[in-house]
Amino acid sequence: MSFIRQHLASGRSAREVLASHLNQIDALNPQIHAFISVEGRDAARAVASAEANPKGKLAGVPIAIKDNLCVTGWETTCGSRILKGFFSPYNATVINRLLAEGAVLTGRVNMDEFAFGSSCETSCYGPTRNPWDTERVPGGSSGGSAAAVAAGLVPVALGSDTGGSVRQPASFCGVVGLKPTYGRVSRYGLVAFASSLDQIGPITATVEDSARILEVIAGHDSMDSTSSRVPVEPYSKPLGETIKGLRVGLPKEFLSFPLPPDVQAAFDRSIKILTDAGAEIVPVSLPHTEHAVSVYYIVGPCEASSNLARFDGVRYGDRDLGAKSLADLYLRTRQQGLGAEAKRRIILGTFALSSGYYDAYYLKAMKVRRKMIDDYERAFQQADVLICPTAPSGAFKIGEKTSDPMSMYLSDIYTLSANLVGVPAISVPCGYTAQGLPVGLQFMSKPFAETTLLKAAYAFEQKSGAADRRPKIYAS
Amino acid sequence: MTIKYDVVIGLEVHVQLASKTKIFCGCPTTFGAVPNSQVCQICAGYPGTLPVLNARVFDLGMTAVLAIGGTVAKRVKFDRKNYFYPDLPKGYQISQYDLPLGSGGGVDIIGDDGKPRKINITRLHLEEDAGKLTHDARASFVDLNRAGVPLAEIVSEPEIKSSSEAYAYLTHLKAIVKAAGVSDADMEKGQLRCDANVSIRRSAADPFGTRVEIKNINSFKNVRAALDYEIARQIKAVEAGEAIVQETRQFDAAKGTTHSMRSKEQAHDYRYFPEPDLVPFIVETTEIEAVRSRLPELPAQKRERMMKQYGLTDYDARLLIENSGLVSVFENLAGRIAASQHKNLVNWLIGSVMAYANERAGEVEDMRIEENHIVIPTRPAVEILGIDSGDAGKPIRLSVDGFLEILSLIEKGAVSLKACREEVFPEWVKTGQPPSKIVEAKGLGQISDTGALESACDEVISKNPKSVEDYKAGKENALMFLVGQVMKASKGKANPNLVNELLKKKLK
């Protein structure tokens, strides 16, 4: 069912594929608002080069790009007013790698401002809607990416994941979202939110497509010191191999979070599917899990407060021309250019890093983070993969949580640990809520064990059949 | 009445590392380029860009640490120093906070008490430079050519006791980093910049006084001026019963004064935290030792060698090695002359040659031997307009043969030192004629022919029996009178040393 495999085998022309997706965008994007811009001219140019070089691993595959990945000549705004008018002069490394394999980049998809959010509601372009229920959020921050794939506007989208920003929207939209190991994919050209947590990942309709995208975008990059030299594996090759004897760890701390009965049922059913496939379920413990949210909401905002300092109106992006002095320029530009959630995180991070508080917050958080890494190392001695729900619920209603940041933050409780410890994680559809909204199952594995991770996720996907359903809007 | 104060100075010196490219990207570091022509998306802090440490810069950093006798850290990490300013494109400077690349080491100076002393160094860390702002009536302009230029910040212990010691410390530090090939350390090009922490107290036994930081000391001349002004300001304040305020003050070179920039309350909270974009790494001992083995001869070693090899005094050796041009020319020429003349060579290089070069805006630092000439490049005409711009820009060329001939004329006593300095040298540099011809043409030759002088001596002895008697009775002055009489008789052309010797012999 992999789009990429089918497409490459079908011999369908890249032109035809692009045209049908552009039609889908025309038809559905007004309701979904996943795309914030369609780059038809660049896509047509890419189609021409894909036709000239049909051997590319992604020749003619339409891909949507999250608004925080730099593409030469594209406005790159991170869903923020402050970057309005910033047209990137360069390509992110992942963009170059996709283009080299003949991918057809179709345009920009929406996101929470600077990836701060779990609902895609904080974008300066307005919210993206969930294709399963347009009154609901698609999740976030890569909500545009997930909604675009779920609605069939593109078979593949790139997102970025700092605390669950690829996996949580994948769960909400009934698609697959992969966050690779920290360092597996170059971050060069990804506008930084939290440098030690950010990782670029694909959102696709199937596990195999994610594996095929990872094969292209992974690998060391001399432009990113944090990118790893661990060799890239042919991730799509072992898909379909048996998972008999695979040790699947159930972290007891994750199981203790309260879940609505329908989500719980979907999770319980997932365990049974894996057991039936021959996996061995082992209980594991991650004792520091209860601190994950606190640690994340210190480390993330600290790094973000520094990473966002460059948006000062001096060199690029939006600037207030009425400024009377330098301080006034900074104040006006940032007051008007940044949204409430961005300001909240900048203030949080600035406070936590300030003299006299650094030890109590940042340093302490980094120590707990170290302990969490130890927890995971121990757990992975007992288990090959860990599983838990991706999110504690299905998609919530637009506006439901905007006034309550804490409840919004808690929608990431299952996902942000993987970023804090750097391990790879994937969300695969595993069932539906009582209202028919998709929910995902999250797998995690040891660092750089994406092959194992994808093999397990693929086996689950094949047995569960949960990914076979499509939102009604897609079929219409 | 004046009370003596104990002055305490610590210096923070920024040295630009001699890398052709920036510390975290591949942009060139060439000085004087068109504004913003040496800038890429990385050093301009564009969204999504990442720093990658330049291996050459790291190597130079390690070399610098070892050259000042410090210890290279085992674990290297970088930190972000956060503050807003238009010349700082990322809103933070990548620097090193709690784990500097180097710790310890020091610089040997001659203190104000005339004794050699080591000024200890606290730390050396690597960081990136910021850009440059210029202002006119309409607007301010940002030039990012300098943003990302690699710097080593070298922080001294507060062990410097006066402006002249600060000057000596800087001079020696500059010589070390230049000799090690770590930096060109040209203050005019901003490759060496200095901030100073200054405090005073009644006596060295007291706790430190309140510290004031002086920024923007951008030339060697200003080091003295800025510190002297600040010390005097603090003494005046204390004498008037005022408390010294902890603050940062800026030096104004035009006025020669310092003024308050920001108080302690306004001081930035830099919110340092580890730079997540650069992974900490371990430096292997073998790597450090490899750098150490490649270290060239450093000033302290060179000074000792100069004393041993050429028989120079500590003072002369120090004078020479402060200037890389002088020392290279000295070493080149010393091999061609007798050891007894080395002292003479130092004197002539430091004396007449330096004076002449300075007059002609010569860059003595770059003095060298080329095609059997002493070559001294000069600064461009525009800088010395109004002095003598005729030959400005052209290098000064002095023939080595002529120069050595001057030394040998003095050695032989064929011409007096005075005549040589005042008449022969100036004429030689002007005309390039062989010095012996100049001596002849100007009639400056000394009579150093023993035969000719003996009869003159005999005559003076016979004509001045009283003085002869006085001398024999132990009056040394009488001999001077007799020498003077011989000189007079020879119309000043007799070699006074020789006359002295002859008279002594004859009156034994």
pLDDT in tens, chain A (476 residues): 899 999 999 989 999 999 999 999 999 999 999 999 999 999 999 999 888 888 999 999 999 999 999 999 999 999 999 999 999 999 999 999 999 999 999 999 999 999 999 999 999 999 999 999 999 999 999 999 999 999 999 999 999 999 999 999 999 999 999 999 999 999 999 999 999 999 999 999 999 999 999 999 999 999 999 999 999 999 999 999 999 999 999 999 999 888 999 999 999 999 999 999 999 999 999 999 999 999 999 999 999 999 999 999 999 888 888 888 999 999 999 999 999 999 999 999 999 999 999 999 999 999 999 999 999 999 999 999 999 999 999 999 999 988 888 777 888 899 999 999 999 999 999 999 999 999 999 999 999 999 999 999 999 999 998 878 889 887 65
Write out chain A residues lying below 8 Å of B277, CB-based: 192, 195, 225-226
Residue B406 and residue B429 in contact, taking contact as beta carbons nearer than 8 Å: no
Rounded to a whole number, what is the distance in Å from the CA of A425 to chain B's nearest CA?
Answer: 21
Interface mutation vs chain A, best among B36, B50, B57, B141, most A CBs within 10 Å: B50
Helix, strand and coil content of chain A, in percent to the nearest 5, comes to 45, 15, 40
Closest chain A CA to residue B53: A225
Q: What is the CA radius of gyration of chain A?
A: 21
Look at A70 and B47 and tell me if their CB atoms are within 8 Å: yes
- Provide the ipTM: 0.96
What distance in Å separates the CA atoms of residue A471 and residue B280, rounded to the nearest whole number?
A: 47
Residue in B45, B49, B273 nearest the CB of A302 = B273
Residue A67 and residue A109 in contact, taking contact as beta carbons nearer than 8 Å: yes
Burial tier of B392 (Cβ tally within 10 Å: 0-12, 13-18, 19+): middle
Look up the pTM and report it. 0.88
Phi, psi at B416, each rounded to 5°:
-75, 155
Look at A312 and B278 and tell me if their CB atoms are within 8 Å: no
Interface mutation vs chain A, best among B49, B95, B132, most A CBs within 10 Å: B49
Between CA A247 and CA A257, with CA A253 as vertex, the angle to 5 degrees is 120
- Tokens 């000074």 identify what position? B303
Look at A330 and B84 and tell me if their CB atoms are within 8 Å: yes
Look at A195 and B48 and tell me if their CB atoms are within 8 Å: no
Instruction: Report, as residue numbers or ranges, the catalytic residues of A.
Output: 66, 141, 165
CB atoms within 10 A of CB A375: 20
Phi, psi at B192, each rounded to 5°:
-140, 115
Put residue A56 in one of left, alpha, beta given phi > 0 → left and psi -120 to 50 → alpha. beta
Q: What is the CA radius of gyration of chain B?
A: 29
Interface mutation vs chain B, best among A353, A359, A361, A367, most B CBs within 10 Å: A353
What distance in Å separates the CA atoms of residue B77 and residue B274, rounded to the nearest whole number?
A: 7
Q: Which helix (H) or strand (E) holds A302?
A: helix A292-307
Q: Measured between alpha carbons, how far is residue B426 from residues A120, B20, B398 in Å?
A: 83, 41, 12
Residue A78, helix vs strand vs coil: coil
Closest chain A CA to residue B40: A89
Helix, strand and coil content of chain B, in percent to the nearest 5, comes to 40, 20, 40
Please give chain B's pLDDT, 508 residues, in tens: 456 899 999 999 999 999 999 999 999 999 999 999 999 999 999 999 999 999 999 999 999 999 999 999 999 999 999 999 999 999 999 999 999 999 999 999 999 998 989 999 999 999 999 999 999 988 899 999 999 999 999 999 999 999 999 999 999 999 899 999 999 998 888 999 999 999 999 988 999 999 999 998 888 888 999 999 999 999 999 999 999 999 999 999 889 899 998 887 778 899 999 999 999 999 999 999 999 999 999 988 999 999 999 999 988 888 888 788 899 999 999 989 988 889 889 999 988 998 999 888 888 888 999 999 999 998 765 544 445 545 556 889 999 999 999 998 888 878 888 888 888 999 999 998 999 899 888 878 777 777 778 888 888 888 888 888 888 888 888 888 888 888 888 777 788 888 888 888 888 7
β-bridge partners, B415: B445
Write out chain B residues lying below 8 Å of A89, CB-based: 41, 46
Kindly provide the residue ranges of all beta strands, DSSP E only, lying in B68-105, ordered along the sequence: 71-72, 75-76, 79-82, 92-95, 102-103
Residue B303 and residue B318 in contact, taking contact as beta carbons nearer than 8 Å: yes
Q: What residue ranges do the domains of chain B occupy?
A: 6-269+278-291, 299-441, 450-506
Residue A212 and residue A218 in contact, taking contact as beta carbons nearer than 8 Å: no
**Residue B388 half-sphere exposure, CB side, CA atoms within 13 Å?**
10
pLDDT of residue B381: 54
Residue B133, helix vs strand vs coil: strand
Look at B48 and A76 and tell me if their CB atoms are within 8 Å: yes
Rounded to a whole number, what is the distance in Å from the CA of B138 to chain A's nearest CA?
Answer: 12
| Nearest by Cα to B214 from B5, B16, B11, B7 | B11
Residue B506, helix vs strand vs coil: helix
| Nearest by Cα to A317 from B299, B47, B349, B342 | B47
- Tokens 């004396």 identify what position? B351
Rounded to a whole number, what is the distance in Å from the CA of A475 to chain B's nearest CA?
Answer: 37
Between CA A139 and CA A150, with CA A145 as vertex, the angle to 5 degrees is 80
What distance in Å separates the CA atoms of residue A300 and residue A304, rounded to the nearest whole number?
A: 6
Rounded to a whole number, what is the distance in Å from the CA of A19 to chain B's nearest CA?
Answer: 31
Q: Which fold has domain B450-506?
A: Arc Repressor Mutant, subunit A (1.10.10)
Put residue A465 in one of left, alpha, beta given phi > 0 → left and psi -120 to 50 → alpha. left
Residue A26 and residue A38 in contact, taking contact as beta carbons nearer than 8 Å: no
Which residues does B contribute to its contact with A (CB < 8 Å)?
Answer: 41, 44-53, 80, 82, 84, 86, 89-92, 140, 142, 269, 271-273, 276-279
Look at B48 and A92 and tell me if their CB atoms are within 8 Å: yes
Look at B52 and A315 and tell me if their CB atoms are within 8 Å: no
Look at A355 and B269 and tell me if their CB atoms are within 8 Å: yes
Ordered structural domains, chain A, with CATH: 3-248+381-475 (3.90.1300.10)
| Nearest by Cα to B456 from B507, B498, B490, B491 | B490
Interface mutation vs chain B, best among A91, A94, A188, A314, most B CBs within 10 Å: A314
Rounded to a whole number, what is the distance in Å from the CA of A350 to chain B's nearest CA?
Answer: 8
Write out chain B residues lying below 8 Å of A187, CB-based: 50
What distance in Å separates the CA atoms of residue B312 and residue A350, rounded to the nearest whole number?
A: 60
Look at A89 and B278 and tell me if their CB atoms are within 8 Å: no
**Residue B50 half-sphere exposure, CB side, CA atoms within 13 Å?**
29
Phi, psi at B117, each rounded to 5°:
-150, 145
Closest chain B CA to residue A222: B52
Residue A190, helix vs strand vs coil: strand
Look at B48 and A310 and tell me if their CB atoms are within 8 Å: no
Q: CB-based contacts of A324: which residues, under 8 Å, 6+ apart?
A: none
Q: Measured between alpha carbons, how far is residue A101 from residues A95, A432, B375, B419 in Å?
A: 10, 36, 60, 84
**pLDDT per residue as tens digits for the range A275-328:** 999 999 999 999 999 999 999 999 999 999 999 999 999 998 888 888 889 999
Q: Measured between alpha carbons, how far is residue A437 from residues A58, A154, A434, B88, B203 in Å?
A: 31, 21, 7, 48, 79
Look at B47 and A303 and tell me if their CB atoms are within 8 Å: no
Q: Chain A to chain B, count of Cβ pairs less than 8 Å apart?
A: 102
> What sign does the dihedral A152-A153-A154-A159 (CA atoms) show?
negative
Q: Measured between alpha carbons, how far is residue B304 from residues B138, B301, B307 in Å?
A: 57, 5, 5
Closest chain B CA to residue A352: B271
Residue in B47, B269, B276 nearest the CB of A191 = B47
Q: CB-based contacts of B475: which residues, under 8 Å, 6+ apart?
A: none
